[in-house]
């Protein structure tokens, strides 16, 4: 096993664009001229998404042309139009005779409360991200969909920390498996190998962590109209050949990586979503790729907070001596 870059996958181009002042952005994964087979699994209670029905095994579409991860909550869904325009200009899409219709799936996270709530990812920003994918400007940290990402929000904005977008990929023989994830969780992010909190809910001193699960246990009464302002969005990519039903299973197993690295996870106040993408023809076992998909996802989540920089008055993991 060796570590590789998330950009070392044939048929995958990743681009990002953001508005740093407004604390929002988007990350696009372009899946080649002919698209790729994609599966999805949603575990959070409050997702904002586009074209998710296409990813169900019974849906007719067997190829998706792009996946867009963005900030802006449901407002950010407008951004997919920019990806559609870019792909149409490149003559990429499902041929319906009179036109080629790009199939673009999208998931959004909530970052409206970080800086400027009235500035969100739009078609122009997503188009810019597609252009940036041509040269591959992907970076971990405060970029793309991770620009306004935060973690540790059990007490609202009080005590939360800056997060971002992260990636990690490995090669096992001929098989490549990687993950990219924008981490905007209600819970704490932990080092999945040691169990230590890396970023999350801070105590009153701003220097030590409170355990969000223990804090939650202090008050067990039912909370009505719980605000859904979080969401972690992840994509597992592999050069192994899989059908949609298998990819839905791999996406489901990727959530094991969420669970290893985020506590608590998959709450009704999160919109946690995982995609799985097959980019090649290498033969591999579904369960092996799924297990390693969970592993690379957990490490990508950790990388997201490790790469984050302090911003918008919020500290980052690098500021805390744990």
Q: Are 305 and 199 in contact (CB under 8 A)?
A: yes
- Averaged over 144-162, what is the pLDDT? 94
Residue bearing tokens 């744990």: 322
- Lowest-pLDDT range of 34-43, 148-157, 308-317: 148-157
- Averaged over 133-140, what is the pLDDT? 97
Structural domain including 177 reads 2-319
- Averaged over 38-45, what is the pLDDT? 92
Could you tell me which residues come within 8 angstroms of residue 299 by beta carbon, excluding any fewer than 6 positions away? 168, 179, 192, 257
Q: Which helix (H) or strand (E) holds 240?
A: strand 233-240
Please state the separation of Cα 105 from the chain's center in Å. Answer: 13
CATH of the domain at 19: 3.60.70.12
CA gap 133, 131 in Å, rounded:
5
- The pLDDT score that the predictor gives to residue 217 is 87
pLDDT band at 156 (very low <50, low <70, confident <90, very high): confident
CA gap 50, 104 in Å, rounded:
8
Q: Which helix (H) or strand (E) holds 104?
A: strand 104-108
Give the tokens for residue 229: 């302002």
pLDDT tens string 221-278: 776 655 557 899 999 999 999 999 999 999 999 999 999 999 999 988 788 999 999 9
Sign for the pseudo-dihedral over CA of 175, 195, 251, 25:
negative
Give the tokens for residue 34: 């002919």
Sign for the pseudo-dihedral over CA of 278, 281, 282, 285:
positive
- Closest by CA position to 312, among listed 93, 128, 71: 71
DSSP of 42-82: E-SSS-EEESGGGGSTTSS---B-EEEEESSGGGGGGGHHH
- The pLDDT score that the predictor gives to residue 116 is 96
Average pLDDT, the chain: 95
pLDDT tens string 90-111: 999 999 999 999 999 999 999 9
Q: What angle do CA 150, 152, 156 make, to 5 degrees?
A: 90
Could you tell me which residues come within 8 angstroms of residue 135 by beta carbon, excluding any fewer than 6 positions away? none
Q: Which helix (H) or strand (E) holds 108?
A: strand 104-108
CA gap 201, 224 in Å, rounded:
22
Q: Which helix (H) or strand (E) holds 285?
A: none
Give the tokens for residue 294: 């969970």
Is 172 in a helix, a strand, or coil?
strand
Q: What angle do CA 268, 220, 186 make, to 5 degrees?
A: 35
pLDDT band at 321 (very low <50, low <70, confident <90, very high): confident
pLDDT tens string 160-205: 999 999 999 999 999 999 999 999 999 999 999 999 999 999 999 9
Q: Angle, to 10 degrees, between the axis of helix 123-133 and the axis of helix 80-89?
A: 50
- Averaged over 7-20, what is the pLDDT? 97
Length of the chain (residues): 322
Count of domains observed in the chain: 1
Q: Are 153 and 189 in contact (CB under 8 A)?
A: no
């Amino acid at each position: 096993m060796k570590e590789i870059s998330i950009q070392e996958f044939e048929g995958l181009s990743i681009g990002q664009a953001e508005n740093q002042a407004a604390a929002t952005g988007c990350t696009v994964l372009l899946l080649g001229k002919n698209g790729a087979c994609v599966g999805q699994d949603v575990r959070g209670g409050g997702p904002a998404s586009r074209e998710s029905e296409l990813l169900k095994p019974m849906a007719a579409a067997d190829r998706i042309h792009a996946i867009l991860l963005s900030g802006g909550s449901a407002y950010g869904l407008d951004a997919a139009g920019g990806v559609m325009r870019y792909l149409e200009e490149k003559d990429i899409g499902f041929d319906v005779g009179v036109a080629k219709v790009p199939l673009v799936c999208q998931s959004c996270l909530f970052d409206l409360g970080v800086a400027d709530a009235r500035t969100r990812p739009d078609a122009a920003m997503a188009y810019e991200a597609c252009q940036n994918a041509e040269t591959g400007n992907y970076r971990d940290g405060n970029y793309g969909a991770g620009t306004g990402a935060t973690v540790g929000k059990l007490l609202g904005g009080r005590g939360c920390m800056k997060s971002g977008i992260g990636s990690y990929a490995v090669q096992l023989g001929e098989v490549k498996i990687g993950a990219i994830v924008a981490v905007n969780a209600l819970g704490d992010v932990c080092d999945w190998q040691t169990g230590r909190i890396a970023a999350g809910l801070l105590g009153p001193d701003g220097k030590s962590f409170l355990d969000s699960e223990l804090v939650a246990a202090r008050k067990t009464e039912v909370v009505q109209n719980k605000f859904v302002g979080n969401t972690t969005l992840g994509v597992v990519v592999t050069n192994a050949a899989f059908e949609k039903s298998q990819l839905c299973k791999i996406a489901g197993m990727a959530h094991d990586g969420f669970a290893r690295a985020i506590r608590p996870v998959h709450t009704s106040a999160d919109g946690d979503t995982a995609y799985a993408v097959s980019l090649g023809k290498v033969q591999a076992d579904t369960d092996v790729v799924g297990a390693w998909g969970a592993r690379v996802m957990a490490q990508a989540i950790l990388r997201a907070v490790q790469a984050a920089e302090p911003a918008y008055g919020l500290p980052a993991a690098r500021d805390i001596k744990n």
